[in-house]
Structure 1
Amino acid sequence: MKPPIICLLGLCAALFVTPIHAQDKKEKEKLPYRFGKVTPEDFKPKVYAIDSAADAVILADVGNTEYNGNSGLLEVMFKRYTRVHILHKAGYDAANFSIYLNKGYSNSTDDRVSDLKAVTYNLENGQVTETKLDSKSVFINKLSEDLFEEKFTLPNVKEGSIIEVTYSTHSFSESNLPGWIFQGEYPRIWTEYNVSIPEWFNFVFLRQGYYSVNESHSDRRQNFNFRYEPDGASGRTETVNMEAKVTDWRFISHNMPALRVEHYTTTLRNHVQSIEFQLGSITTPDGVTKNRMGSWSKLRERLMESEYFGATIDKNNGFLADVVNSVTAGASNNEEKARRLYTYVQKNFTCTDNERLTMDATSVKTVFNNKKGNSAELNLLLVAMLRRAGLESWPIILSTRDHGITLALYPILRRFNYTITYLQDGDNEYVMDASKPLLGFNHLPLECYNGHARLLTPDVPPVYFVADSIKEQSVTSVMAVLDKSGDISGSYQQLPGYYSSYSIREAVKTKGKEEFFKNAGKAFASDAAISETNMENLDSLDIPLTESFEFKLQGGDEDHIYLAPLWGEVQKENPFAAAERRYPVEIPYLINEIYTLNLQLPDNYEIEELPKPALVKLNDADGIFQYLVQGSGSSLQLRCVIRLNRANFKPEEYNDLREFYNYIVKKEAEQIVLKKKA
């Protein structure tokens, strides 16, 4: 059995990698704001043309990065200035700031913050008042061994406040060139980034987004005085005092709209207007060029030799022999061995932390003895056990949907955040995630279907987990009888898709069957009384389950009965409500929803009005909506199908998709009218 792995050499992504290119020189625009220069006139705007509904507007956000070569070490200096007009209480979050700092190889090389100033301005009785940030209100949080967060909130923020923040950071990691985000939760009137790069550094510019950002650059000469390690010097450093070419880059945009989360979005990280810098190579002052980007082979070597990843898979794992032999005893083939070992890890170990790329422990033995571990630890333990059973298993690294895409062209490890298990058995391939106790064998969580990933075999091939490979089919059947008094009773059965079944299994595990069916009854109809609840294949994790129940709806002895016939399955709202969308629609799977109703009528009621049948296609082959209803004498039948044959839609296709669902919502809201016979 083969998993949904699709190996491709080229895949278009939302992130665009473009070469550096020259721009015509233009007169430099000057920022119309200066720190501390706030006047009563600045408070007059109550709404802004860029977004009349905005709760806050970023008037200016400007960053500057340059290399300082006169401090003994080559230092990356970053300075930021921000001015924000907060219009409503819902915009108070714009007054929260976080600065992220990396730990260096010594205390003197830790990232640090300097010249932090933050002020809130309010207009009181026609006068501008200032409230400055107290240094005691700045807090430092340790996020990991190597990453810290310095955070603060501006004081005395009110509706109408203007806030200003400026600070500098200092880093001694020459490859850690800060990127810039031009877009975010609030609209930006002026957003600008300036970066100066000495000729020794060759950076790849990673640009992404859907709006225009003007860029220009010019060259100049600058003197540097710093220490470095010459090629082959084995720890010996030299001090150089030299002049070098520096390229000054400027990126600027005006009236950048806010970026808001819409339905069916993996993560805004994939779509926000931004630029990143990845160091490709460095040429030292003595003329030696060193590749810093590396290769996929080098990245694999680094991971497989790490004690927090691959080094522990085969090292000192003889202790696994007894348990592996016991679990696989009597297995008729390799697939059965793998299934047993997968289930063993899944059922006997607790996942303590999801979405992890590497281990916290330094050996799988520690994980095995503790009977718990993060997601990477459990999957690497499974790799070790499969290998101990004589099977060919390797890790796969990927990025989950909420973490952002990875780039097949560039081996950038920080873009990955998850590790799963891969097994090769002849021509058959299997993928597993043992950290999910309710996930079937050779299935992956939906969040893994995020495009490019890497299989860590010696040749490190790309593999692709794509949403278009998942067909999520749901079949719902309702058999009902209307009695002479207007009451309706019947049976409901649904065979949901695999991932809907997974969600149901999680809900049942968390709250129990009784609570699940209580909620299912409310979803079916607010006044439904349900009984005879049943769930089949709940523990058969490799296949979808089936849920069913009997129901009764109280009616009334009315001359007319108005039925909304898609009980529990009606599309009440269009998930694509926004009038415009500038980034793709990213549905996690292909959709095929089938609903059938068979309603028996008593001899004192007849059909007065039925909705008209409909068949609507989305772009000929991308989707279909079918609505068929017919009635004759004592019965009526309805069949409704919604099918999407693609999971991803481009921004220019959004309006067609939106109108497609607008039609579905309107059609499914139509009612069947029954009339009591005279």
Structure 2
Amino acid sequence: MKKLILSLAATLAAVSLLQAQEPDYRFGKVSEEELRMERYDRDPDAEAVILYEELRTYFLIGNQFTRMTDYFIRIKVLKAEGKEYADINLPYVFQRENYANLDAVAYNLVDGKIVKTPLKKQYLFREQVGDEQWMLKFSIPEVREGTVIEYRYRMNSDFVTYIPSVVVQHDIPTVRMKATVEIPEYLRFNVNTKGYLSINMRENTIAGRIAGTDVPYNVREITTEGRDIPALKKEPFVWNRNEFRSMIDFELSQIAMPFSDVQNFSLTWKDVNEALAETDFNSNIRMGNPFKEETAAIVARNLAPRQTLHELLRLVQSHMKWDGKYRLMSSSPRNAADKGTGNSAEINSVLMAAVKDAGFDVVPLLLNPRSRGRLPLAHPSFDGISTFILRVTLDDGKFAYLDGTDPDSDVDLLPTDLLVDRARIYGVSGDVGWCDLSRLAPGNTHINMTLGFDPELSVHGRITERYTNVPALRCSSAYGDARSEEEYVEALEEEHHIRIDSLTINGLRSAHLTQEFTMTREPETAGDFIYLNATIIPFLTENPFKSPERKYPVEFDNPASYTMQGVLRLPEGYVVEELPRAARFNAFDGDITCFYMAQATNGVIQFNMRFNQKRLIFLPEEYADLQAFYGAVVNICNSRIVLRKQQ
């Protein structure tokens, strides 16, 4: 009996100790242990860590129907870079949403004592960022490496048919989080989890009551909790990182209010098309052509169809400049044409009017730019549609694609952000309405070099670079963005590690661009030896895939091929001491290949490199092989041509 009592006492003591070690997650209860924390062992490189996050979204039903959100977060700043998490931006819609009960405090350990610095109300700012969109902004004071910050607020909204996503995974790691969403029975939502982390989600039914009455109703309670949630790391080659962020999404499916007809909101693409037909979108794409005379003059030239489309595109772009905003519809594209500036909907509506006026059959393609995420497959909605481009049917039954936003774009040459793998043909229902634009304009780069040595043993010669499609667009954009040709040349010199003596560019703002230049490069020397890069100018000097593992896919911009051919005449009195070994790599059943060869004959070195990538997307389980492939290519590119002076 005595042994049992001792055992029970030991168990209670252990439980008490565990409870004592559990942090106090109430607002204002930051501990000295949290302030002394110097790193997060599960992610030693983290610049900050969320110690605790709690969210509750619920509805108040009475004289008004209101969606409420109570939010609280505590963050530990571990490095100087983590101070940015003390700068807070809270979005809201003017006159329909507002924040209340906002508190924010910084905690620092000074001479062994906890010093609190609260946010003063005069440091709250409101900024208009859209027609009705505003931002509540504040910066928590006295934040530095080692600080713990926390803030909380209550937000109320009359957008009761919308529930914001519950974000489980952030850009920094999270020690512990809890979220609850309470949905009254009158609103029915499809609840979907997304991301690469498993989400522990539970559902329960609890009781609610209409304010000021005894009228009860059922509430669907959805709860998730998590511990030690890793950060969603920034990685190269990702179209939209949020597509892989673990979160819970809510999509309205039905409103069933008492004494009212049930309203269903689960849409098909047929529903989306029909709804758009009743909006400004439909009237905009049927507008008259504001550039009728100029269009007629282009048509009168009897150009080939694609050349006619090219001229119509340039016509609209010469009259209208993009304001940088993606929109699906607008109140008046014609006014935008008169002003000379407009959003994507206004510019492409005007472009569509001109193309139709020229006698072409054209239809809008609805899409979301890559940077904003893909259109939903399972649950069609308006929320995922940000803009549209044009698909034109040619006489041979083939299609041509146009977008007027980027002044360097062309027929079938769209900005990479619009080369989506999931666009919808307006007016078409079902699976046949999907359109893949990701392989619309495969990139091709061909570089030819004829080089030798001058009397000072500097490499000197001529380089011709030919770009097709996306590489041509990027080159045009870089040239257009430079403040002068001298600035463009300086950037090209830095990229190639050379000095450029003269430059000629042909084909700007087209799918086929050529730039030629004479160059000089100082090779590395040591005694009787000259060392040169295997490709003279760099191709791939370091592996872009540095992380040991990857949790989400690798997404390249577009299919691409790269060819480099060179002839290098040796300087008088020198011979080849060493050449890089020939290599040929073939991975993923030929989806990505690389070839390199160099040979020397009669005082001349000839080298050839070809890199070809057909596939755009590689899955996480393929990452190790992709990383190894790029590592092998880097090794070739960093290998050397060695010349030796004859004795």
TM-score (norm: length of structure 1): 0.86
Matched, 1:274 2:247: yes
Q: Is the 8 A contact 2:538 2:637 kept in 1?
A: no
Q: Is the 8 A contact 2:201 2:224 kept in 1?
A: yes
Matched, 1:87 2:55: no
Q: 1:553-603: per-residue Cα shift (whole Å, max 9, x none)?
A: 456895222221312233111111111211111110123111122222355
The 5-angstrom pairing of residues 495-514 of structure 1 reads 495-511=466-482, 512-514=484-486
The 5-angstrom pairing of residues 361-440 of structure 1 reads 362-426=331-395, 427-440=397-410
Match of 2:139 in 1: 153
Q: Is the 8 A contact 2:252 2:266 kept in 1?
A: yes
Q: Given the superposition, is the C-alpha separation of residues 273 and 385 from structure 1 closer, same or farther in structure 2, using an over 3 Å criterion?
A: same
Q: Given the superposition, is the C-alpha separation of residues 389 and 623 from structure 1 closer, same or farther in structure 2, using an over 3 Å criterion?
A: closer
* Aligned partner letter, 2:137: K
d(CA) in 1 for partners of 2:41, 2:481? 48
Percent of residue pairs identical: 24
2:283 to 296, 311, 323: 311
Q: Given the superposition, is the C-alpha separation of residues 31 and 487 from structure 1 closer, same or farther in structure 2, using an over 3 Å criterion?
A: closer
Matched, 1:635 2:604: yes
d(CA) in 1 for partners of 2:621, 2:413? 33
Report deviation, 1:66. Answer: 1.3
Report deviation, 1:32. Answer: 4.6
1:165 to 144, 151, 157: 151
2:64 to 59, 69, 73: 73
Q: Is the 8 A contact 2:363 2:392 kept in 1?
A: yes
Q: Given the superposition, is the C-alpha separation of residues 318 and 560 from structure 1 closer, same or farther in structure 2, using an over 3 Å criterion?
A: closer
d(CA) in 1 for partners of 2:553, 2:176? 25
Q: Which region of structure 1 is more displaced relative to structure 2, 91-100 or 463-472?
A: 463-472
d(CA) in 2 for partners of 1:303, 1:312? 11
Q: 1:513-552: per-residue Cα shift (whole Å, max 9, x none)?
A: 44433432343334x4x3343223335x1x3211112233
Q: Which region of structure 1 is more displaced relative to structure 2, 471-480 or 547-556?
A: 547-556
Matched, 1:534 2:504: yes
Match of 1:98 in 2: 89
Report deviation, 1:225. Answer: 4.8
Q: Is the 8 A contact 2:423 2:437 kept in 1?
A: no
Matched, 1:115 2:106: no
3-state secondary structure, aligned to 1:575? coil
3-state secondary structure, aligned to 2:64? coil
Q: 1:31-57: per-residue Cα shift (whole Å, max 9, x none)?
A: 851112123233222111121122211
d(CA) in 1 for partners of 2:208, 2:257? 16
The 5-angstrom pairing of residues 560-575 of structure 1 reads 560-575=529-544
Q: Given the superposition, is the C-alpha separation of residues 326 and 82 from structure 1 closer, same or farther in structure 2, using an over 3 Å criterion?
A: same
3-state secondary structure, aligned to 1:674? strand
Matched, 1:206 2:178: no
3-state secondary structure, aligned to 2:347? helix
Match of 1:519 in 2: 491
Q: 1:494-527: per-residue Cα shift (whole Å, max 9, x none)?
A: 112322211222232333444433432343334x
* Aligned partner letter, 2:570: L
Matched, 1:183 2:169: yes
Matched, 1:552 2:524: no
d(CA) in 1 for partners of 2:262, 2:391? 37
d(CA) in 2 for partners of 1:356, 1:146? 15
Matched, 1:264 2:234: no
d(CA) in 2 for partners of 1:605, 1:319? 68
Q: Is the 8 A contact 1:392 1:423 kept in 2?
A: yes
d(CA) in 2 for partners of 1:492, 1:334? 34
Q: 1:325-373: per-residue Cα shift (whole Å, max 9, x none)?
A: 33422436765554432221122322223433332xx333312322322
Q: Given the superposition, is the C-alpha separation of residues 500 and 372 from structure 1 closer, same or farther in structure 2, using an over 3 Å criterion?
A: same
Report deviation, 1:300. Answer: 2.8
Q: Given the superposition, is the C-alpha separation of residues 50 and 574 from structure 1 closer, same or farther in structure 2, using an over 3 Å criterion?
A: same
3-state secondary structure, aligned to 1:382? helix
3-state secondary structure, aligned to 1:275? strand
d(CA) in 1 for partners of 2:379, 2:317? 33
3-state secondary structure, aligned to 2:116? strand
d(CA) in 2 for partners of 1:60, 1:557? 58
3-state secondary structure, aligned to 1:155? coil
Matched, 1:358 2:329: yes
d(CA) in 2 for partners of 1:283, 1:386? 46
The 5-angstrom pairing of residues 36-75 of structure 1 reads 36-69=28-61, 71-75=62-66
d(CA) in 1 for partners of 2:264, 2:643? 76
Q: Is the 8 A contact 1:201 1:282 kept in 2?
A: yes
TM-score (norm: length of structure 2): 0.90
Match of 2:17 in 1: none
3-state secondary structure, aligned to 1:90? helix
d(CA) in 1 for partners of 2:514, 2:164? 51
d(CA) in 2 for partners of 1:77, 1:614? 63
1:325 to 291, 296, 313: 296
Q: Is the 8 A contact 2:306 2:411 kept in 1?
A: no
Q: 1:153-195: per-residue Cα shift (whole Å, max 9, x none)?
A: 2122222111121111112222111221112221111122111
* Aligned partner letter, 2:417: E
Report deviation, 1:220. Answer: 2.3
d(CA) in 1 for partners of 2:341, 2:144? 47
Q: Is the 8 A contact 2:534 2:636 kept in 1?
A: no
Q: Is the 8 A contact 2:574 2:643 kept in 1?
A: yes
Match of 1:671 in 2: 640
d(CA) in 1 for partners of 2:627, 2:349? 43
Q: Is the 8 A contact 1:97 1:153 kept in 2?
A: yes
Q: 1:581-627: per-residue Cα shift (whole Å, max 9, x none)?
A: 11111110123111122222355222222222111222332211212
Q: Is the 8 A contact 1:207 1:275 kept in 2?
A: yes
d(CA) in 2 for partners of 1:199, 1:243? 11
Matched, 1:609 2:564: no
Matched, 1:445 2:436: no
Q: 1:444-463: per-residue Cα shift (whole Å, max 9, x none)?
A: 11111122122223658633
Report deviation, 1:113. Answer: 1.5
3-state secondary structure, aligned to 1:667? helix
The RMSD of aligned alpha carbons is: 2.5
d(CA) in 2 for partners of 1:548, 1:472? 19
1:465 to 412, 416, 436: 436
Q: Given the superposition, is the C-alpha separation of residues 129 and 676 from structure 1 closer, same or farther in structure 2, using an over 3 Å criterion?
A: closer
d(CA) in 1 for partners of 2:301, 2:33? 83
3-state secondary structure, aligned to 1:293? coil
3-state secondary structure, aligned to 1:652? helix
Q: Given the superposition, is the C-alpha separation of residues 63 and 485 from structure 1 closer, same or farther in structure 2, using an over 3 Å criterion?
A: closer
How many residues align? The count is: 622
* Aligned partner letter, 1:491: R
Structure 2 gaps, min length 5: 1-21
1:284 to 232, 237, 257: 257
